[in-house]
């Protein structure tokens, strides 16, 4: 569920703190030079430790329902992000890109390869290259290890401070007054940090190169900065969040323009996927789907749209939600005729058939789509959910377990697997799967409870007992690193 144009003070506190590279660290010098790669900062804060910190914050963002777990959008963001990552040089961490339930125009990077994109940023971007420009900027913060550099410069315990922010502010331990105080402290710290400008300049410079090498327009970074400045002039005090956390000056715009001018401009590319995602977000955020369907229909008829197919796709989704299945089918047929293999259209086709009660047809569509894209997250989840809903729990379980071998599976897969295992009477396996879901969503104490229940199920073999005990030990070690509760 997408949020209205407001954000809780707790989430504000966390995001401001995350966007402050030293996490509340004191600044001891007026100007601090960036350390060289290989210095003590990068030795003290290892990539493995950065990954642990970033993953812990993401889990707690999920716990606060701050992440939108729509697999279609998540898949799009990760494809876009990895397109940029692949254009970089040298070794790189595993990345994970996720959508934040926040209407502000912003994005942020976490230690260890995690990039959060506010849905407001996607809606504000005028084209895919503008969105890619912001994502590229955040990717560079991670590849250049700006968090580790700031950790050294601030002489602060970054892992502990990140744990405090994530576990206390988002974990329900602190009140709004504490959150507001943390927010003010973080903002104050950021305002004092002179060397953040060097980080921003480096992220712009390298990010523009990533854009050009990955087929995006390198001019889009300066273009997006100008876009935001225009918005800020119109909005007055309510400036876009990006401008508060990534200050944009005329000098910065000019430098971005000059860098882009020295690079070749790639030919225009198909941006249908970008427009489909923007329209999907529009449908998800709408409170009155019937009214939205009427608006989208009118836009198609009068030609007032950025992309006709994306507008029609949004109309299909809204009509399905309204149970206007015949009209939805007519519009979907036009989309499939133009692009029969696009995954989101096939998913809509299967959903439409499920609504009509044509289960065999829907399952056949899912099976065909998965054959064309093995282990695709979107198709796998939709297919497994449909199988489970139609008394095919065993096949659903096999599909889910196969997908969960992926390096960074989405947490909702564990929740669905728990349902499937429970349906089959596999009690211990259901507890284990639910434990992993709770862990991935920041509910660590609940995860330990589920693992404990799993360990007490009669008839477990040595391997399963050992696996459960190992996970419980690992989670307890993480909890021991958090500050004690008062």
Look-up: residue for tokens 């990552």? 85
Q: Give the SS3 label for residue 103.
A: coil
Structure-token pair, residue 384: 């497994």
In sequence order, the 6+-apart residues with CB closer than 8 A to the CB of 213 are 87
Q: Which one from 101, 138, 421, 436 is the annotated catalytic residue?
A: 138
**Burial of residue 60 (number of CB atoms within 10 Å: 0-12, 13-18, 19+):** buried
CA 45 to CA 453: how far, in whole Å?
36
Question: Among this protein's residues, is 130 annotated catalytic?
Answer: no
Q: Which of 65, 55, 270 is nearest to 163 (CA)?
A: 55
Determine how many CB atoms are found less than 10 A away from the CB of residue 409.
Answer: 17
Q: What span, in angstroms and rounded, lies between the C-alpha atoms of 220 and 269?
A: 14
In a 10 Å sphere around its CB, with 0-12 CB exposed, 13-18 middle and 19+ buried, how is residue 92 labelled?
Answer: middle
Contact 443, 63 (CB under 8 A): yes
Q: Give me 116's structure tokens.
A: 């959060």
Whole-number Cα distances in Å, 78 to 71, 214, 287, 429: 10, 14, 27, 29
Between strands 114-118 and 96-100, the pairing is parallel
Q: Residue 59 class from Cβ within 10 Å (0-12 exposed, 13-18 middle, 19+ buried)?
A: buried
Q: Mapping DSSP to helix (H, G, I), strand (E, B) and coil, where does residue 44 land?
A: helix
C-alpha–C-alpha distance, residues 93 and 111, integer Å: 10
Packing angle of the helix pair 47-63, 427-440 (nearest 10 deg): 100
Residue found under tokens 């890619």: 132
Strand order in the sheet with 114-118: 67-68, 96-100, 114-118, 107-110
Does the annotation mark 138 as catalytic? yes
Q: What are phi and psi of 232, to 5 degrees?
A: -65, -40
Q: Which residue in 472, 438, 477, 437 sits closest to 456, CA to CA?
A: 472
Annotated active-site residue in 130, 200, 204, 309: 204
Alpha-carbon gap, residue 214 to 351, rounded angstroms: 34
DSSP string, 406-417: SSS--THHHHHH
165 secondary structure, DSSP code: I
| Residue 310: closest CA among 263, 269, 352, 344 | 344
Residues noted as catalytic? 138, 204
């Amino acid at each position: 569920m997408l949020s209205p144009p407001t954000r809780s003070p707790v989430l504000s506190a966390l995001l401001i703190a995350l966007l402050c590279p030293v996490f509340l660290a004191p600044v001891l010098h007026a100007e601090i030079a960036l350390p060289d790669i290989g210095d003590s900062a990068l030795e003290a804060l290892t990539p493995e430790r950065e990954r642990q910190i970033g993953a812990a914050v993401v889990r707690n963002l999920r716990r606060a329902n701050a992440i939108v777990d729509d697999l279609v959008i998540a898949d799009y963001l990760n494809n876009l992000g990895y397109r940029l990552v692949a254009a970089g040089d040298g070794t790189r961490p595993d990345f994970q890109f996720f959508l934040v339930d926040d209407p502000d125009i912003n994005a942020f990077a976490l230690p260890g390869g995690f990039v959060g994109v506010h849905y407001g940023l996607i809606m504000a971007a005028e084209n895919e290259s503008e969105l890619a420009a912001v994502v590229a900027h955040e990717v560079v913060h991670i590849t250049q290890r700006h968090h580790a550099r700031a950790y050294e410069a601030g002489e602060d315990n970054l892992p502990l401070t990140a744990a405090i922010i994530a576990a206390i502010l988002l974990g329900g331990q602190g009140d709004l007054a504490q959150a507001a105080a943390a927010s003010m402290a973080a903002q104050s710290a950021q305002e004092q940090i002179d060397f953040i400008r060097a980080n921003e300049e480096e992220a712009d410079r390298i990010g523009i190169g990533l854009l050009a090498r990955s087929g995006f327009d390198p001019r889009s970074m300066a273009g997006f900065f100008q876009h935001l400045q225009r918005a800020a002039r119109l909005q007055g005090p309510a400036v876009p969040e990006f401008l508060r956390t990534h200050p944009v000056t005329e000098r910065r715009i000019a430098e971005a323009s000059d860098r882009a001018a020295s690079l070749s401009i790639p030919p225009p590319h198909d941006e249908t996927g970008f427009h489909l995602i923007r329209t999907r977000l529009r449908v998800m955020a709408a409170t009155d789907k019937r009214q939205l369907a009427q608006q989208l229909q009118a836009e198609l008829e009068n030609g007032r749209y950025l992309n006709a197919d994306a507008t029609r796709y949004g109309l299909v989704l809204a009509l399905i939600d309204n149970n206007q299945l015949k009209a939805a089918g007519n519009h979907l047929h036009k989309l499939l005729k133009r692009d029969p293999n696009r995954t989101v259209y096939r998913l809509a086709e299967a959903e439409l058939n499920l609504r009509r009660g044509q289960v065999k047809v829907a399952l056949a569509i899912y099976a065909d789509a998965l054959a064309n894209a093995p282990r695709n997250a979107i198709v796998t989840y939709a297919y497994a959910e449909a199988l489970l809903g139609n008394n095919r729990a065993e096949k659903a379980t096999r599909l889910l377990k196969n997908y969960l071998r992926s390096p960074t599976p989405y947490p909702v897969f564990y929740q669905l697997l728990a349902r499937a295992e429970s349906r089959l009477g596999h009690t211990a396996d259901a507890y284990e799967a639910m434990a992993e879901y709770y862990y991935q969503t920041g509910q660590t104490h609940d995860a330990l409870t589920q693992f404990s229940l799993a360990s007490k199920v009669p008839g477990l073999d040595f391997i399963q007992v050992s696996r459960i005990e190992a996970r419980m030990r690992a989670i307890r070690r993480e909890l021991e690193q958090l500050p004690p509760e008062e």
